Amino acid sequence: LSGKSPEEKRSMLVKCAETTLNSKLVSDYKLFFAEMSVDAVSLLGDDLATSTVGIKKATGGSVMDSMLIDGVAFKKTFSYAGFEQQP
């Protein structure tokens, strides 16, 4: 990848990620998830600690409702008078 522009590097990484998604259930959405995967890895920093990337599953919605969150995502809970309730 040396000597390539950032756009060329990203394009190459997206193509590699798309290749890994060809035989998966999400193959119809491989570009969407390939770009999300490349974005997630690019947020890791120099140590590339992939253990810091998590996937939160939520029922309902469509595949295209998936999103990458740069930060921490919590399950929506409410606390009232010391008790936790699920919505």
| pLDDT, position 73 | 66
Least Cα distance to 20 among 41, 5, 4, 2 occurs for: 41
The phi, psi pair for 14, rounded to 5°, reads -65, -40
Q: What is the pLDDT of residues 54-76, one digit of tens each?
A: 888 778 888 888 888 887 766 66
**Residues of the chain falling short of pLDDT 50:** none
**Which pLDDT belongs to residue 87?**
52
- The strand ranges marked E within the chain are 78-80, 83-85
